[in-house]
Structure 1
Amino acid sequence: MDLSRFKKAPRNISLDDLIIFENENYVVINKPAFVPSLDERTPDKSVSILKIAREKYGDIQLCHRLDKETSGALVLAKNPAAYRNLAMQFEHREVQKEYHAVVNGVHDFDSISVFLPIAPLKDGTAVRIDKLKGKMAETIFFTVKSYSKHSLVRCIPITGRMHQIRVHLQCLKAPIVCDPTYGGDMIFLSQIKRKFNLKSETEELPLIKRVALHAHIIRFRDLDESVIEVTAPYAHDFEVLVNQLEKSK
């Protein structure tokens, strides 16, 4: 199924509506899905988080990135000192991040660590496990809740490689829902709801039309060493998906 027609950035995005934390050094937003972190080299020149943020704050900087389809907590630095402070924490793996994902299959992960090296494919659009040429990557997984055919999983990345969580879950035979790049199947209401009736000659659409991954929590130190911890509420589509799974237990 081609879902490209649904994968468009929301219109008229207001940064003020996305902010979930702000002080004199940092802004943390709840990034919507389908909005790139940085400007893309595409003909349509779609809006980016950095572009929107600079319209409000001037020379603000992104401290890290999220995949275009991933929603959740994204940190921007208001000044060079704040940017350097967080860059050093990322370099020393001191920033703590927690993602939530809905995956295919019923799994019971209890601090399962995947420690496998990752290398990008030649076209740069995806990655693979490569024990010879890959860079080491580690992710720890916990099952939050299991359903009849799916699981909600908490993902703790120790390193920060491209598509790390997605490919590591594939290695556990638990690919993320709606992630065909790494073997994840679509999820339909008819799969989980009893007595589901679809109108004749109607195409059933997936419950979520993107990779079901959300950056839920981020924790780091401010310039004065105080700890900043921010929780990004689930994006609407992710929340709807989890609620439907809860109803269908």
Structure 2
Amino acid sequence: MKIPKFTDLILYEDDNLVVVNKPAFISSLDERGEGSSEINMLRLAKAYSDDAQICHRLDKETSGALIIAKNPEAYRMVSMQFEHRKVKKVYHAVIEGTHVFDELLVDLPILNTGKGTVSISRQEGKRAETWFQSLKYFKHYTLVECRPVTGRMHQIRIHLATQRASIAGDEMYKGKPVFLSQLKRKYHLGKDQEELPIMKRFALHAYEVTFKVSEDKEVTIHAPYPKDFETLLKLLDKFDS
């Protein structure tokens, strides 16, 4: 994988903070058990600004807006906003099936079961809430806006799965990859060719983040879709609408 140039990822920057459009397949922080050679957003950020700290995590496969503090004071300021649920996060996801979500609130507690997995547990889980709004309908898929109120691990992914609306390509939560041959009627593969999915990851993107950069200034940062997400939507538009 090509290591991105940190400066190419910057969406917003001031003296204390920087917001980047995180590429997919790069961890936010050092993953437990990974070799020290594994590149991650924290390392890229520290190479850019010595005291950089990541303010929240995005799953490795998730792309989009990631807030990074350049100093401890800024880190504290943003962390407090996350703690008090003052940061507004908007994600876009492509889900399986046609689903009419009109400000649907999924309020199901999530239990972190360890080893990178979570489950819904009304007894032991921690409170988790996500709002869902359908944005665009295709024949077999829907583009949805997801607004998590809490920040539990895999929250959007498992909440969608409980609605029988798994994110395309999210095999951990029963989502299947999208192949062009499913969408395009007369699709022919060459002999001995193996068809690859349109997206080599699950279709989830951190589209927008709104938070305070100082006592009296709030910003909304919008992260454009990466190429793979855009391609999937273009192909669904063309062959599945």
TM range (shorter): over 0.9
Q: Which residue of 2 aligns with 1:5?
A: none
Q: Which residue of 2 aligns with 1:240?
A: 231
Q: Which residue of 2 aligns with 1:49?
A: 41
For the pair 1:95 / 2:72, whether they are aligned, the reply is no
Any residues of structure 2 matched to 1:116-195 within 5 Å, and which?
116-121=108-113, 123-195=114-186
> 1: CA distance between counterparts of 2:140 and 2:180?
12
> 2: CA distance between counterparts of 1:99 and 1:192?
25
The TM-score normalised by the length of structure 1 is 0.93
Letter in 2 for 1:225: D
The TM-score normalised by the length of structure 2 is 0.96
Letter in 1 for 2:134: T
> 2: CA distance between counterparts of 1:135 and 1:161?
8
Any residues of structure 2 matched to 1:37-116 within 5 Å, and which?
37-40=28-31, 41-43=33-35, 45-116=37-108
> 2: CA distance between counterparts of 1:198 and 1:143?
33
Deviations 1:211-230 (A, max 9, x none): 11000000001223211110
**Which ranges of 4 or more aligned residues in structure 1 deviate by more than 6 Å?**
none
| TM superposition shift of 1:82 | 1.3
- 2:7 is paired with a residue whose SS is helix
> 2: CA distance between counterparts of 1:192 and 1:154?
23
> 2: CA distance between counterparts of 1:185 and 1:56?
37
Q: Which residue of 1 aligns with 2:214?
A: 223
- 1:113 is paired with a residue whose SS is strand
- 2:103 is paired with a residue whose SS is strand
> 2: CA distance between counterparts of 1:107 and 1:149?
10
| TM superposition shift of 1:201 | 2.8
> 2: CA distance between counterparts of 1:150 and 1:141?
15
- 1:110 is paired with a residue whose SS is coil
Unmatched 5+ stretches in structure 1: 1-9
Deviations 1:2-42 (A, max 9, x none): xxxxxxxx323210011111011210000000000112231
> 2: CA distance between counterparts of 1:124 and 1:94?
29
Deviations 1:66-110 (A, max 9, x none): 000000000001122211111111111010000000111111111
- 1:89 is paired with a residue whose SS is helix
> 2: CA distance between counterparts of 1:124 and 1:225?
41
- 2:167 is paired with a residue whose SS is coil
> 1: CA distance between counterparts of 2:34 and 2:214?
37
Q: Note closer, same or farther for the CA distance 1:44–1:142 as it changes in structure 2 (3 Å cut).
A: same
Of residues 25, 39, 45 in structure 1, which corresponds to 2:16?
A: 25
> 2: CA distance between counterparts of 1:141 and 1:13?
32
> 2: CA distance between counterparts of 1:22 and 1:235?
20
**Number of residue-to-residue matches in the alignment:** 239
> 2: CA distance between counterparts of 1:158 and 1:87?
15
Percent of aligned positions with the same letter in both sequences? 48
- 2:81 is paired with a residue whose SS is helix
- 8 Å contact kept, 1:148–1:192: no
Q: Answer with 89-98 or 218-227: which moved more.
A: 218-227
